[in-house]
Amino acid sequence: MTFGEQPAYLRVAGDLRQKIVDGQLPPHTRLPSQARIRQEYGVSDTVALEARKVLMAEGLVEGRSGSGTYVRERPVPRRISRSGYRPTGGATPFRQEQADGEGRGTWESSSEQSEASVAVAERLDIEPGERVMCTRYLYRESGEAMMLSTSWEPLAVTGRTPVMLPEEGPVGGMGVVERMRAIDVIVDNVTEEVGARPGLAEELLVLGGVPGHVVLVIQRTFYASGRPVETADVVIPADRYRVAYHLPVK
């Protein structure tokens, strides 16, 4: 087999990947052994090993102790819909994060005061070290962990008000827009930046991923008259979900 200019281990990995995608190596099938790969492709043990590492890093195969390496079940991606419009009249954080009207789910959260890091302070246009309310959410769909969210709100805006704790008080759990409106702060803009990175170990532990899995990270910020009043990082498993945006035409 001629491998051309591409490194041999990538060409071997690419050929095996295609067999997985095409169904020639269906889920739960044992991947060819290192010796078999070496023989079939005419490569060294090192190349065969590196090719297997590539497939493992991509989440296509998994090692089973004492048994070998097997093709993983590939989940059918589900859609998480997001929109610049927020529902009114009792919108929940889950509805805020999942704007699809058919979405169903539950969440759990915890809040604590902390000092703004340099990165958070820049996003909130405050000084590093200023006090913020940090709230962490875990969202579930049909009992399965599907999304993490960490939000920060400057206590200079919400401190000593009934909405200081996002999940408590008269409008607890109703979402940023409604909560801010309750203290006469009118949210009029929201921005979202979407990126991807390898999931952190603690994220993947909760979301059910394996080391090397990629997550989507949505960096969201709410504004009131140009002033940031909340910013959040939303973390979603990239292999199980797709993010769909509904953008209004003006």
Residue range 14-34, pLDDT digits in tens: 999 999 989 999 999 999 988
Give the mean model confidence (pLDDT) for residues 208-237: 92
Q: Which whole-number Å values give the CA distances from 176 to 29, 87, 179, in the listed order?
A: 47, 11, 5
Indicate whether 93 pLDDT > 60: no
Of the CATH numbers 1.10.287.3510, 1.10.10.10, 1.10.357.10, 2.40.50.1020, which one belongs to the domain with range 8-71?
1.10.10.10
Taking every pair of Cα atoms in the chain, the longest distance, rounded to a whole number of angstroms, is 71
The separation between CA 182 and the C-alpha centre of its own chain, rounded to angstroms, equals: 30
More confident residue, 244 or 159: 159
Indicate whether 92 pLDDT > 70: no
Domain with CATH 1.10.10.10 in the chain: 8-71
Q: What is the CATH number of domain 78-245?
A: 3.40.1410.10
Question: What is the pLDDT at residue 25?
Answer: 94
Instruction: Report helix, strand or coil for 194.
Output: strand
Give the mean model confidence (pLDDT) for residues 142-165: 95
Question: What is the pLDDT at residue 1?
Answer: 43
In whole numbers, what is the pLDDT of the chain averaged over residues?
A: 87
Question: What is the C-alpha to C-alpha distance for residues 95 and 245, in angstroms, rounded to an integer?
Answer: 14
Indicate whether 185 pLDDT > 50: yes
Percent of the chain beyond pLDDT 70?
88
CA end-to-end span of the chain, whole Å?
55
User: 0.85 exceeded by the pTM?
Assistant: no
Domain with CATH 3.40.1410.10 in the chain: 78-245
Give residue 104's pLDDT band: very low, low, confident or very high (50, 70, 90): low
Question: What is the C-alpha to C-alpha distance for residues 219 and 246, in angstroms, rounded to an integer?
Answer: 17
Look at residues 176, 132, 135 and name the one whose alpha carbon lies nearest to residue 154. 132
